[in-house]
Amino acid sequence: MNIAVFASGGGSNFQQIIDHVANGDLAVNISLLVGNNSKAGCFQKAIENSIPTHHTSPSHYDNPVDYVYDLLDKLEENNIDLIVLAGYMKMLPVELIIKYSQRIVNIHPALLPAFGGQGMYGMNVHRAVKSYGARVSGVTIHLVDEEYDHGLVIHQEAVPVYDTDSPEEIAARVLKCEHAMYWRVIKAISDKTITIVNGEVHGTLHK
């Protein structure tokens, strides 16, 4: 299975995927890193691990259609089977979502549908969890559709939230859970332990 990872930030989830491919736990090819910020840590990690990068953004093009074709061409050129969003801050073009329907996954640092949607990214999520008084938060891995944080849930894991937690402490606990989980879900998709058929998820993650 050829995967393209899309990222905009530091890329700690990307690094986990790289590490588990390197140690043989995860048998996929990381064919491409796609990102909109070539100065971000994720690009550095791709370069250090000899993973081809593609730097692109809607702002690079006068005509939005050219951006869409650029992305579609690049994915096709690399025979991409699965798109893995790992902290990607741009909305994907609808053409791409349609073409790769049920083949785009995202990781969100809360239990969707709570604490998701536009503006719910990074520390905003964990501050909202704290101020709402939620007793659990967690991680959601889901399919991507045209709405923010909306597609079918593939896997979720909860982490506790304690009275004394700061948003930063919640964030750290959730991120640790993300790191343990994302590569396993990708593995389960690639070895068909988890399948997505007609908008339903079949199978569960075995740890």
- The distance of closest approach from Cβ of residue 102 to ligand GRF in the complex, given in angstroms and rounded to an integer, is 19
Taking the complex as a whole, the smallest distance from the CB of residue 77 to ligand GRF amounts, in Å, to 25
Q: Which is nearer to ligand GRF, 41 or 61 (CB)?
A: 41
Q: What is the C-alpha separation between 134 and 40, in angstroms, rounded?
A: 32
Terminal C-alpha separation, the chain: 21
Nearest residue to ligand GRF by CB is 87
- Shortest approach of ligand GRF to residue 71 CB, angstroms? 19
Of the candidates 20, 54, 108, 155, the residue annotated as catalytic is 108
Helix residue ranges per DSSP H, 11-63: 12-22, 41-48
Q: Which is nearer to ligand GRF, 11 or 151 (CB)?
A: 11
Taking CA atoms, 116 is separated from 95, 139, 157, in Å, by: 23, 11, 15
Whether 60 is catalytic is: no
- Shortest CB 62 distance to ligand GRF, Å: 29
**Omega before 113 cis (within 30°)?**
yes
Tell me the sheet residues that pair with 30: 3
Is the CB of 88 or the CB of 100 nearer to ligand GRF? 88
Residues in the chain: 207
Phi, psi (5° rounding) for residue 201?
-95, 130
* Exposed/middle/buried for residue 24 (C-beta within 10 Å: 0-12, 13-18, 19+): exposed
Q: Which residues bind ligand GRF (CB under 6 A)?
A: 7, 9-14, 86-87, 107-109, 175, 178
Minimum gap (Å) between residue 109 Cβ and ligand GRF: 4
Query: In the complex with ligand GRF, which residue's Cβ is closer, 16 or 31?
Result: 16
Residues 6+ apart with CB under 8 A from 75: 4, 32, 83, 96, 100
9/151 with CB nearer ligand GRF: 9
Q: Which residues are catalytic?
A: 108
